[in-house]
């Protein structure tokens, strides 16, 4: 996992100056993951396009937009045009729920 992290960090650093080198480093990291059946964390998985499997960097070859209704993050690859939407769910706060006297019903405050 250390080698994968190093390759992806170097790819992010090199993306502005030399995109071909960054693509190569990211593809090597992805092949290592596939060879040894390693799952990438969500943050690192977002660096690869779901359509063309290329390395994407927000601002260089990908657009990232935040939608308000429904609350979602939209990532568009500028290489192939694939759009990936990630819905952001709201977490229910415990402050809005009160337990009634009998203990088995929940009521909104």
- Model confidence pLDDT, tens digit, residues 22-55: 999 999 999 999 999 999 998 999 999 999 999 9
% of the chain surpassing 90 pLDDT: 71
Give the model's confidence band at 105: pLDDT under 50 very low, under 70 low, under 90 confident, else very high. low
Question: What local confidence, expressed as pLDDT, does residue 108 receive?
Answer: 56
Cα 71 to Cα 3, 17, 42, 95, distances in angstroms: 35, 34, 18, 22
Is residue 59 predicted with pLDDT exceeding 50? yes
Task: Based on DSSP, count helices (H) and strands (E) in the chain, helices before strands.
Answer: 3, 5
Q: Write down the mean pLDDT value for the chain.
A: 87
Is residue 79 predicted with pLDDT exceeding 90? yes
Question: What local confidence, expressed as pLDDT, does residue 97 receive?
Answer: 56
Longest dimension (CA), the chain: 66
Q: How far apart are CA 61 and CA 76, in angstroms?
A: 9
Question: What local confidence, expressed as pLDDT, does residue 91 receive?
Answer: 75
Give the pairing of strands 72-77 and 83-87: antiparallel
Q: Where are the domains of the chain?
A: 2-96
Q: How far apart are CA 12 and CA 56, in angstroms?
A: 9
Give the model's confidence band at 70: pLDDT under 50 very low, under 70 low, under 90 confident, else very high. confident
C-alpha 44: how far from its chain's center? 7
Q: pTM of the full predicted structure?
A: 0.71
């Amino acid at each position: 996992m250390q080698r994968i992290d190093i390759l992806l960090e170097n790819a992010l650093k090199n993306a502005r100056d030399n995109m071909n080198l960054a693509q190569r480093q990211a593809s090597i990291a992805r092949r290592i993951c596939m060879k040894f059946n390693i799952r990438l964390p969500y943050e690192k998985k977002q660096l690869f396009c779901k359509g063309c499997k290329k390395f994407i960097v927000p601002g260089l070859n990908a657009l990232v937009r935040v939608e308000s209704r429904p609350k979602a993050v939209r990532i568009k690859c500028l290489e192939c045009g694939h759009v990936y939407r990630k819905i952001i769910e709201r977490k229910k706060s415990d402050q809005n729920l009160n337990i009634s006297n009998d203990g088995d019903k929940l009521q909104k405050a």
